[in-house]
Amino acid sequence: VPTQVAIVGAGPAGLVLSHLLAESGIDSIIIDQRSRDEIENTIRAGILEQGTVDLLARLPGSRAHTVGMRHDGIELRFDEAGHRIDFPGLTGRSVWLYPQHEALKDLIAARLEAGQDLRFGVTAMAVEDGGTTRPRVVAEHSGGTTLEIEADFVVGADGSHSVVRREISGSHDGLFREYPFAWFGILCEAAPSAPELIYSNSPHGFALISQRSPDVQRMYFQCDPETDPTAMTEDQIWDILQQRVPGVTLVEGPIFQRDVLRFRSFVARELRHGRLTIVGDAAHTVPPTGAKGMNLAVADVILLARALEALLTRSDSTLIDGWADAARDRIWKAQHFSWWMTSMLHTTPDASDFDRERQLGELRSVVESEAGRAYLAEGYTGWPLG
């Protein structure tokens, strides 16, 4: 089937891109190997930057401003004391707690309502003629029948195991970092323990007290990457969480989901090759601390949509030729921010007394200085897109 832009992946990047392209009168086809139900029910990110939520909120049927909750700050906790970072006071911007799967429900409904060609259960197998002006995505329905999409441009928004990345950059060719810890994440039925998120650096390791709704809370604690999430009782989990947030008593409740999240930083060496490009998790991975992943995916496609509009409606290739560098500028700011928040808040298994005292010195120098708090707030709420 012919289209203007073939989008592989119906996550935040692919869906927002199709929406922005449609606003410019550009057709696209989106395929995703998952079912609609799986996409809409997988719990992932929770925090949206001001710029991300502003974009989502103007899409038809968005519940970002009604179901989402504005958060005007976070608490950094260490040495048994909490320190608030006041986002609007420091930057004029806030963030929003709006779970990714809720945003995806809105986006999918709005695209289908607008007549978008959006196909679930279709797996991309390869990209052919990548070096030409008419690349093709070869895909397979779950039943085994083949689908070929012929396009002016192919966008891989297909996540960290991207098939499109293979054609651009090689699957593993990129800049990479691993961390010697992971997060144990839980969802529980309970009231919030605090009005805002708490990022706690404790002598026993890091914990993050986040939220999902008035009755469901999301919490994480730093753990060994090899931890088996099923091997701990609920009481053991609560003991660890309570110990990691000294000075606050967490509201406990039944735990109904648990998972272990790996920590990695990755940026693909090449983001574009001719008329193929990768965006979102296909192009980069950040560790979760600071919640940059989904926001970065949306920033990639805002820039890409402008470039594709120029290329496909005005035959102007200036923006697409500069796209990868423009995207990389923000990607590396977000890589640094995510690495910095991670390294400032977590305990490494081999940390010496020097390392521990240095880290506390760093935290005090951030929270006691308006410049320090503003630096954190700028990164957390998101840099202007330009």
Binding site for ligand DHB (CB under 6 A): 45-47, 197, 208, 210, 218, 288-291
Tokens of 50: 């001001």
| Residue 22 C-beta: closest distance to ligand DHB, Å | 29
| Residue 210 C-beta: closest distance to ligand DHB, Å | 3
Of the pair 218, 275, the CB lying nearest ligand DHB is at: 218
| Residue 292 C-beta: closest distance to ligand DHB, Å | 8
On the 0-12 / 13-18 / 19+ scale of CB atoms within 10 A, 69 is: middle
Of the pair 291, 304, the CB lying nearest ligand DHB is at: 291
Of the pair 136, 218, the CB lying nearest ligand DHB is at: 218
Q: Is 292:378 a contact under the CB 8 Å cutoff?
A: no
Q: Is 97:211 a contact under the CB 8 Å cutoff?
A: yes
Within 13 Å and on the Cβ side, how many CA atoms surround 147? 24
Which residues are the active-site residues?
71, 199, 288, 292, 380
Residue 233 one-letter amino acid: T
Cβ–Cβ contacts within 10 Å for residue 274, how many?
Answer: 16
* Dihedral sign (CA 285, 291, 294, 295): negative
| Residue 113 C-beta: closest distance to ligand DHB, Å | 28
Of the pair 156, 382, the CB lying nearest ligand DHB is at: 382
For residue 35, the SS3 value is coil
Whole-number Å distance between alpha carbons of 267 and 26? 28
| Residue 248 C-beta: closest distance to ligand DHB, Å | 16
Of the pair 18, 285, the CB lying nearest ligand DHB is at: 285
Tell which phi-psi region holds residue 92, choosing left (phi > 0), alpha (psi between -120 and 50) or beta: left
| Residue 338 C-beta: closest distance to ligand DHB, Å | 9
Please name the residue that has the structure tokens 């509201």: 251
| Secondary structure letter of residue 205 according to DSSP | E
Of the pair 217, 277, the CB lying nearest ligand DHB is at: 217
| Secondary structure letter of residue 2 according to DSSP | B
Q: Which of 145, 176, 139 is nearest to 268 (CA)?
A: 176
Q: How many residues does the chain have?
A: 386
